Amino acid sequence: MGAKRDGSAGSDATATDETALESLDTTWPRDSTVGRLTMTLPLVVIALAIPFGGVVDRLPPAVEFAPFVLSVLLFGLPHGAVDHLMPVRLADQPLGRSLALISVVYAVLGGAYLVVWLVSPALALLAFLAMTWFHWGQGDVFALRAFGDGDHIRTASDRWLSLLTRGGLPMLVPLLAQPDAYRVVVDGIVGLFNPAATDSLTPLFRVDVRLALGVVFAGTCVFGLLWTARHVRAGRASWTGLGWDAVEIALLWAFFWLVPPVFAVGLYFAVWHAVRHIGRLAIVDDAARSALDRGVWPTALGRFYRDAAPLTAVSLLLFVGLYVAVPTDGSLETLLAVYLVGIAVLTLPHVAVVTWMDRRQYG
């Protein structure tokens, strides 16, 4: 089911925006196999977790950290371990050249970012939050367009507004609702390298700063939906995609507001962001895409794990190296901090690869 460009505009004021439409070569409806796995399943898991969030604090601490532990091998960490095959599948590059190119990207960007962590951990932490905001936003925008009937996200402005909204939900809402728990994680990460540097992040947790951020962000969420609704009113898009977009935004607001941040972000990472990216990987693998079209999803998932296994193992070496190099007390909190720093170092080059994928997959 191909997405079509629409070059018409309702007025001269919108002509420039409407002629800059972005399309995907192929989309899958939300009720297809890949749509159910990438859109419906994560939504159901997150919805079911909201009531559970009220009792997490009364359970053993290991329960709160469980989603991040599971993400090491279940979807989370592996979802970025297929980057080396993207030039092969999207640009017909030989495997050797593709592997060499992605290795250089990871070595240069990841290495440079690791230096920033060593020199200025507070700056590195802020960069990590901003980078994750962007990346998780871009991942959701692609999923909405490819698997979520998101034909209301048509122009560059639609896409950026949706990216700001979707990326801000996991990154900002926990800060607004549960600043003390948020700060424990932030201070734990920065404190691995320089405990004194945590003081520079204090303004982020002030009531007036959080209130201002909350008002602006809530306004952005509402405005983004109203802005993209113009395509529905003009008959260029359906209410279905816009409606599901609004449902997901409301659900994620509730989830990140009510559920403890460590549990919430870990679960989101593993079963929402990573699963949707795995769906994106499947549609550029001919055999996996064919299996999904036939409804044989275990075949597609098996191919993903086969492709991701080597570099997932290599990534684990990075975490071991960080654990050895950075002093820790062995607590769950410091182990999570080491894991998140390792994820941060891997995320920068991964974002570069996914941004290139955007350019290849959008028309």
pLDDT one digit per residue (tens) for the chain, 363 residues = 333 333 333 333 343 444 445 567 678 999 999 999 999 999 999 999 999 888 888 888 889 999 999 999 899 999 999 999 999 999 999 999 999 999 999 999 999 999 999 999 999 999 999 999 999 999 999 999 999 999 999 999 999 999 999 999 999 999 999 999 999 999 999 999 999 999 999 999 999 999 999 999 999 999 999 999 999 999 999 999 999 999 999 999 999 999 999 999 999 999 999 999 999 999 999 999 999 999 999 999 999 999 999 999 999 999 999 988 888 888 888 999 999 999 999 999 999 999 999 999 886
Using N-to-C axis directions, what is the helix angle for 111-119 and 332-361, rounded to 10°?
Answer: 140
Using the CB atoms, write b or e for 243-265: b if 16+ within 10 Å. ebbbebbeebbebbbbbbbbbbb
The pLDDT assigned to 363 comes to 61
Does a structural domain hold residue 12? no
Spatial distance between the Cα atoms of 252 and 62, rounded to a whole number of angstroms: 23
Spatial distance between the Cα atoms of 227 and 242, rounded to a whole number of angstroms: 11
CB 131 within 8 A of CB 351: yes
Domain boundaries, position 94: 29-361
Does a structural domain hold residue 8? no
Does a structural domain hold residue 131? yes
Q: Please give the backbone phi and psi of residue 24, each rounded to the nearest 5 degrees, phi first.
A: -105, 145
Overall size of the chain counted in residues? 363
Confidence (pTM): 0.91
Does a structural domain hold residue 160? yes
Burial class of residue 357 (count of CB atoms within 10 Å of its CB; 0-12, 13-18, 19+):
buried
Does a structural domain hold residue 7? no
Q: In 10 A of CB 240, how many CB atoms?
A: 16
Does a structural domain hold residue 180? yes
CA distances in angstroms from 220 to 163, 232, 253, listed in the order given: 11, 19, 13
The pLDDT assigned to 275 comes to 97
| Total domains present in the chain | 1
CB 197 within 8 A of CB 348: no
Tokens of 359: 């350019």
Angle at 91 between CA 90 and CA 97, to 5 degrees: 115
The pLDDT assigned to 23 comes to 66
Does a structural domain hold residue 22? no
The pLDDT assigned to 19 comes to 41
The pLDDT assigned to 61 comes to 85
- Encoded amino acid at 107, one letter: A
For the segment 156-169, what is each residue's pLDDT rounded down to a tens digit? 999 999 999 999 99
Helix (H, G, I), strand (E, B) or coil at 11: coil
Does a structural domain hold residue 18? no
